Amino acid sequence: MMFTQYLNRNLFKAACVAGVTLCLASCKEFVTIDPPASAMVQETVFADARTAVAALQETYSRVNNIYTNGNIPGVPLLNALYPDEYRLTTTNNTLRLIYTLSPDSRDISFNGVWSSAYSAIFRANAVLEGVRKYGASIPATAGEQIMGEALFIRAYTYFLLINIYGDVPLLLTTDYERNRRAARTPQDQVYAQIVADLTDARELMQADYLDFLNVSSTMRLRANSGAADALLSRVYLYTGEWESAERHATTVISNTLTYNLEKIPANAFNIGSKETILAFENNLLNYPRIASSFILNSNPNNSTSSSAIGVLSDTLHNSFEPGDNRARDWVGVFTSGASSFHYASKFKVSTTLQQFFPAIRLAEIYLIRAEARMEQNKFELAIDDVNKIRDRARAEATVDVPDPLPELPYGLTKEEIRIAIEKERFTELFIEGHRWFDLKRWRGLNDAAISRAEEAMPAISTAKGATWQPHLIVLPLPQTEIELNTNLVQNLDY
């Protein structure tokens, strides 16, 4: 698709456009964004590729906040604490609200995901409108890349929002008057927009990775066409479109010049890893916020950071099989007296920048393809994909463990393969922001008419000393948003 053709498509109305000046200002929730009169941007912002990329970079930073900002409980913490990945030990009130299934629509920190997400969406829309209106002088390749990334960010952010809140306002413009009165849009319509955005994005973006100076980079902090295919595979898995999920996953997996699994789990998150498809940068050296959220004691990873929230749940810890190097590389042990506790050590605290948080990585794509193939009754191919992950994680045989992490055999039933894939996602992707979303989309094992979350959460809740109620399947919208926008309706029973 040519850049000029895309600019001429009537996808977005050119209303008020927020640029670098607005992007660098204070973050406000979408319904309280300043009116157009104070948000107008000069034409020069999006007439030049460098300043347009600067606006795009600020858009990425808002998405980063949803994951790696320790000041709000982001997607990894929500997915770890709400179900059964982590056992809380901190007294932090906001985290305890999550852990005990007591979401508070008035808790400012609790609502941080919502505000950061809509801040990212507003900025993505601003970039799209700005380049469309003023970007004719930007070189075609650069303009296509910028537009594609803005579409990708918008799609990625909406994917997170609907999996947390259910129906959400679908904002495709920076028009203040329209946005401040926006009602909630059904999830299927939001998913349709996500697919449309990603389909356009994969055509607009190039295959190479760039830094924010538009130079080729190994850091993988900006989306490319491979990231669009990867996210499409995830989206289609969630919507149950198995053939499409498999097809887009295969596109990524087949690109072995760009993507490969690391030989040992310990290297999966290193800067420059070919397993990374898209990464988020930690905000601070020596205190990377995603790492600090998951360490247990004051010195688990040769650092001085101490911001522990808890320990691995017994359910997760017991899911690791003998001879699994993921337990060696990604799980730490802290001993206090006669007691030992296990904590997640995937992300290491360091005085130098060594790791990024994975928004999408290749191991997930193998498991997406395995699940999509299993659902299409391609059992042996599904088993091959799972074994690719298990082979990487397998330790050397020892006297104590003569058959470490054995391959799954052919001949398993569909339900046996399903359980194996689900277990593999648990041990491979823990604390990366998948568990709660998985439980919500998987059907029940005993009752296919309900989700796995509805089936499993009563027992999980009881173990925490909490009580499961059906409305807890989604989180409440921030109460301030409900009060400011009379067209917004709160989720049931909140």
Does 377 map to a domain? no
Does 275 map to a domain? no
Q: What is the mean pLDDT of residues 353-365?
A: 92
According to the model, what pLDDT value does residue 40 have?
A: 37
Distance CA 454, CA 442 (A): 10
Instruction: Please say which residue of 279, 311, 344 terminates a domain.
Output: 344
Distance CA 167, CA 184 (A): 6
Q: What is the mean pLDDT of residues 93-105?
A: 94
Distance CA 286, CA 347 (A): 12
pTM: 0.90
- Asked if 318 contacts 385 with a C-beta cutoff of 8 angstroms, the reply is no
Q: Which residues contact 10 (CB under 8 A, 6 or more apart)?
A: none
According to the model, what pLDDT value does residue 420 have?
A: 99
- For the chain, count helices (H), then strands (E): 21, 6
**How would you classify residue 104: left for phi > 0, otherwise alpha for psi between -120 and 50, otherwise beta?**
beta
Which residues are bridge partners to 336 per DSSP? 339
Tally Cβ neighbours within 10 Å of residue 8.
10
The answer to whether residues 11 and 118 belong to one domain is yes
Q: Which of 427, 431, 429 is closest to 291 using CA atoms?
A: 431
Which residues are bridge partners to 360 per DSSP? 278
Per-residue DSSP letter, 350: -
Does 326 map to a domain? yes
Handedness of CA 199, 204, 206, 212 (dihedral sign): negative
Render pLDDT for 286-342 as a digit per residue (tens, 0 to 9). Answer: 444 555 555 443 334 434 344 568 899 999 999 999 999 999 999 998 887 888 889
> Concatenated DSSP letters for 446-466?
S-TTSBHHHHHHHHHHHHHT-
The residue segments making up the domain with residue 134 are 1-72+109-205
Does 472 map to a domain? no
Q: What is the mean pLDDT of residues 369-374?
A: 99
Instruction: Please say which residue of 344, 367, 386 terminates a domain.
Output: 344
Does 262 map to a domain? no
Between the alpha carbon of residue 440 and those of residues 163, 192, 257, 270, 350, the distances in Å are 8, 19, 35, 30, 35
According to the model, what pLDDT value does residue 21 have?
A: 40
Which parts of 174-294 fold into alpha helices (H)?
Answer: 176-180, 187-204, 225-238, 242-253, 289-292
Instruction: Please say which residue of 344, 364, 384 terminates a domain.
Output: 344
Render pLDDT for 382-407 as a digit per residue (tens, 0 to 9). Answer: 999 999 999 999 999 999 999 999 99
User: Could you tell me the two tokens for 223?
Assistant: 């989306």
Distance CA 2, CA 456 (A): 49
> At residue 340, what are phi and psi to the nearest 5 degrees?
-125, 140
According to the model, what pLDDT value does residue 338 have?
A: 87
The answer, yes or no, to whether residue 5 has pLDDT greater than 50, is no
Q: What is the mean pLDDT of residues 99-114?
A: 92
The answer to whether residues 45 and 183 belong to one domain is yes
Render pLDDT for 134-185 as a digit per residue (tens, 0 to 9). Answer: 999 999 999 999 999 999 999 999 999 999 999 999 999 999 999 999 999 9
- Asked if 140 contacts 2 with a C-beta cutoff of 8 angstroms, the reply is yes
Render pLDDT for 204-225 as a digit per residue (tens, 0 to 9). Answer: 999 999 999 999 999 999 999 9
Q: Which residues contact 213 (CB under 8 A, 6 or more apart)?
A: 50, 53
Q: What is the mean pLDDT of residues 118-129?
A: 97
Question: How does 154-176 read in b/e, with b if 16+ C-beta sit within 10 Å?
Answer: bbbbbbbbbbbbbbbbbbbbbbb
The answer, yes or no, to whether residue 17 has pLDDT greater than 60, is no
Does 419 map to a domain? no
Handedness of CA 458, 464, 469, 470 (dihedral sign): negative
According to the model, what pLDDT value does residue 337 have?
A: 84
Q: Which residues contact 3 (CB under 8 A, 6 or more apart)?
A: 138, 140, 141, 143, 144, 147, 204
The answer to whether residues 180 and 309 belong to one domain is no
According to the model, what pLDDT value does residue 310 have?
A: 85
Distance CA 146, CA 49 (A): 8
The answer to whether residues 149 and 298 belong to one domain is no
Which residues are bridge partners to 358 per DSSP? 279
Q: Which residues contact 430 (CB under 8 A, 6 or more apart)?
A: 80, 85, 312, 316, 330, 344, 346
> At residue 78, what are phi and psi to the nearest 5 degrees?
-60, -45
What is the pLDDT confidence band of residue 32, given thresholds at 50, 70 and 90? very low
Work out the burial of residue 227: count CB atoms within 10 Å of its CB; fewer than 13 is exposed, 13-18 middle, 19 or more buried.
buried
Does 234 map to a domain? no
Helix, coil or strand: residue 255: coil
CATH of the domain at 20: 1.25.40.890
Q: What is the mean pLDDT of residues 232-243?
A: 99
Total domain count for the chain?
2
Does 212 map to a domain? no
